[in-house]
Amino acid sequence: MSSTTTTHEVEPRTTTITLTNGKTFTFESNVSTTDEQIPVIDVARMYSPNLEDRQALADEIREAAHNIGFLCIVNHGVDMNLADQVLDQAKAFFALPAEKKMQVCTELMPDEYCGYHPMQHYNPNGWKQRDLYEAYNWNYNAARDPEFPDPSIPEINLWPTEMPDFQERLCAYQTEMIRFARRLTRMFALALHIPEDAFDDAVRRPEAGARILHYPRQEASRDEQNGIGAHTDVEYFTIITADTEGLEVLSKSGRWIKVKPTPGSFVVNIADCFMRQTNDFFVSTVHRVINESGRERYSVPFFWGFDRQSVINPIPTCVGDGNPNKYPVMTAGEYYLWRTRTQKKSWKIGEGKANA
C-alpha cells in the first residue's frame, strides 16, 4: 500500500528510493541474498495466562521490530484453512475478464484504497517495465467485527457481483485476523514497556483492511521490472501469508534479503504509523516482491491500524531528554488519508524513467 519514486546514479552505482512517507533509502546492489534472514518467533506464549511468558515473548518481538521491522511468526493459532480459501477466491477473481474486474476499480473511490488495482498499471520505482501485479483491496466492516459488531456504521467497499462466495470467504478470514491482531497488539504494547491494554481502545474500531495480490511468473530481469516496487506500508503492522517465495526486505546493511517461506507461518512487518508513534524505535522497513519462482504467486496481506480518530502521539517510553518527538502530531485518519491521496496522485502524474 505504498508508492515510491526512484533515481539512479552513475558514480557510485546506487539506487535511491524516495518514499511517499518522505524518507529516502539507498542500496548498491539489486541482487537479493539468503545470507541474512528475518527472525522466526514462536508466538504460542501470547496465549499463556502468565504475564511473565507474554512479556518474554514481547521482548523477542521488541528486538525484531527495532532491528529490522520484520518477523516470521509460527504457532499463531489462526486456522490457515481460512487463508487457503481466500487464496482460492483470489485465483478465481483474477481469472475474470479485465472488464469485469474494472467494474470495481479503485479509482471509483478516490479517497479509499478498496477495489481492483489493474495489472501492470503502476511503476513507482521507475524500472523499464511496469510492476507485474494486480490486486484487490477491501476495508474493515464494523458489522462483521468479531468482538464489537456495529451494523449501524456504513460499509465502504466495492464488491464484485458475480462471485457468490467471494465476499463471504474474504470476510471470514478478515474477521479471524481482526481477533488475532487485537491480541498481537497487546504483545506490541508489552514490547514497548507500557501496559498490555494500552492500545485496547484504539483498536476497538480499527483500520483493518486486507488485500489479495496476483503476481504472474516474471520473465523480465529484476533490473527491468519488479513484481511490486519497493515501498513501506501505511498503518501500524501488516500480517502476510503467501503461497510461494518472492518477498524481499531491505536490511540495515543495505542488502535485499530474500525471505524464505515457512509453511503455516505469517510474516509480520511494522508499518509507518507505528514507526511514527514509536519515534522510529520500531522500524518500517522497505520491501518489495520479485516473483522469480517460476510459478504464479498469490498473497494476502492484512493491514492493521488504530482507529482513524486516534491521535498519533509518541509512546512515552520512546521520547525523552535528548530524544524529542520527530513527527508532527496528527490523527491516524489524517495520516491514512494523506498517504492514500499521495499514492493515488503519484500514479497519475508520472512514472520514473531511469533504470539500473
Calculate mean pLDDT across residues 267-293: 95
Calculate mean pLDDT across residues 210-230: 93
Residue 350 has pLDDT above 90, yes or no: no
Calculate mean pLDDT across residues 270-293: 94
Which amino acid would we find at residue 146?
P
User: Which residues, in sequence order, are bridge partners of residue 266?
Assistant: 73
| 2 vs 258: CA distance, rounded Å | 20
Are 190 and 118 in contact by the 8 Å Cβ rule? The answer is no
Domain ranges of the chain: 32-349
pLDDT of 25: 75
CATH topology of domain 32-349: Jelly Rolls (2.60.120)
Helix, strand or coil, per DSSP, at residue 340: helix
Strand segments, DSSP code E, in the chain are: 4-8, 15-19, 24-27, 32-33, 40-42, 70-74, 115-117, 134-138, 207-215, 228-231, 237-242, 247-250, 256-258, 266-270, 287-289, 297-305
3-state secondary structure string across 36-100: CCCCEEECHHHHCCCHHHHHHHHHHHHHHHHHCCEEEEECCCCCHHHHHHHHHHHHHHHCCCHHH
DSSP string, 205-221: S-EEEEEEEEEPPP-S-
**pLDDT cut 90: percent of the chain above it:** 70
Task: Give the pLDDT confidence of 199-215 residue by residue, as tens digits.
Answer: 999 999 999 999 999 99
Calculate mean pLDDT across residues 115-131: 85
Residue 352 has pLDDT above 50, yes or no: no
Cα angle for residues 337, 166, 240 (degrees, 5° grid): 55
pTM above 0.85, yes or no: yes
Residue 278 has pLDDT above 70, yes or no: yes
Peptide bond into 12 cis (omega under 30): yes
Q: Is the dihedral of CA 154, 156, 162, 164 positive or negative?
A: negative
Most confident of 42-46, 126-130, 224-228, 258-262: 42-46
Cα angle for residues 346, 348, 353 (degrees, 5° grid): 70
Most confident of 6-10, 16-20, 179-183, 307-311: 179-183
Task: Give the pLDDT confidence of 286-329 residue by residue, as tens digits.
Answer: 999 999 999 999 999 999 999 999 999 999 999 998 999 999 99
Residue 20 pLDDT grade (very low, low, confident, very high; cuts 50, 70, 90): low
pLDDT of 345: 64
